[in-house]
């Protein structure tokens, strides 16, 4: 989802600083329009983002992974009185998230988002049909590149092999598609 979100943010005029841990995705996100890419294994992403923004921080941080340490990094990277949009699905105990430091002192808003729908306050304008049509139109116009995100295709009867690839070779995978 982060690769698609990067493109959508760019279409809306954002300067995108993409953070990931997978070299393949970092290379792809740069091809898709991120001005800066940061390997979270090599850098403290929040500090690097502050440095790239003249110590202001990000106007909006978007967290897609559902990893608590990435959420904490997004909060730390955010500018004073700005937002962190959380689209990742978090499970279990929220270890690693500290709400007494940058979050509290910098008045960060955390906004819950869902990939599967629009915010209820926008539902009267942005229903499922309009969302789907917009994405399809952007893809057809060449403004949103989705097919390049498919790294592996399997026949449906090879689903076990596809799942094994996802489980054992995560760094090699961007998107797996099953053909029926």
Residues 165 and 98 both lie in one domain:
no
Residues 33 and 104 both lie in one domain:
yes
The reported pTM is 0.87
Residues 110 and 23 both lie in one domain:
yes
Give 120 or 179, the one with higher predicted confidence: 179
Give the pLDDT band (50/70/90) at residue 69.
very high
DSSP conformation class of 18: E
DSSP annotation string for 38-63: EETTTS-HHHHHHHHTTTS-EEEEEE
Residues 84 and 166 both lie in one domain:
no
Residue with tokens 């995108």: 16
Q: Where are the alpha helices (DSSP H) in the chain?
A: 2-11, 23-31, 45-52, 68-77, 102-105, 128-140, 159-168
Residues 97 and 154 both lie in one domain:
no
| pLDDT value of position 158 | 97
Task: Give dist(CA 66, CA 64) in Å, integer.
Answer: 6
Structural domains of the chain, count: 2
Is position 142 within any domain? no
The CATH number assigned to the domain holding 58 equals 3.40.50.720
Structural domain ending residue among the three candidates 62, 93, 116: 116
Tell me, rounded to whole angstroms, the distance of Cα 167 from its chain centroid. 20
Is position 126 within any domain? no
Residues 93 and 171 both lie in one domain:
no
Read off the pLDDT of each residue in 50-62 and give the average, rounded to a whole number. 96
Structural domain ending residue among the three candidates 73, 97, 116: 116
Give the pLDDT band (50/70/90) at residue 120.
confident
- Domain range spanning residue 66? 2-116
Residues 56 and 11 both lie in one domain:
yes
């Amino acid at each position: 989802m982060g690769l698609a979100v990067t493109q959508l943010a760019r279409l809306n005029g954002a300067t995108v600083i993409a953070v990931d841990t997978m070299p393949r995705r970092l290379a792809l996100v740069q091809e898709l329009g991120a001005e800066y890419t940061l390997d979270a294994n090599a850098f403290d992403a929040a500090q690097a983002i502050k440095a790239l923004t003249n110590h202001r921080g990000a106007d909006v941080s978007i967290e897609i992974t559902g990893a608590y340490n990435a959420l904490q990094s997004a909060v730390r990277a955010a500018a004073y009185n700005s937002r962190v949009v959380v689209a990742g699905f978090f499970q279990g105990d929220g270890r690693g998230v500290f709400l007494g430091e940058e979050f509290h002192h910098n008045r960060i808003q955390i906004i819950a988002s869902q990939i599967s729908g629009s915010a209820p306050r926008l539902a009267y304008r942005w229903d499922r049909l309009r969302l789907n049509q917009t994405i399809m139109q952007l893809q057809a116009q060449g403004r949103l590149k989705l097919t390049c995100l498919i790294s592996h295709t399997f026949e449906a009867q090879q689903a076990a092999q596809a799942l094994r690839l996802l489980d054992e070779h995560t760094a090699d995978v961007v998107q797996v598609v099953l053909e029926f």
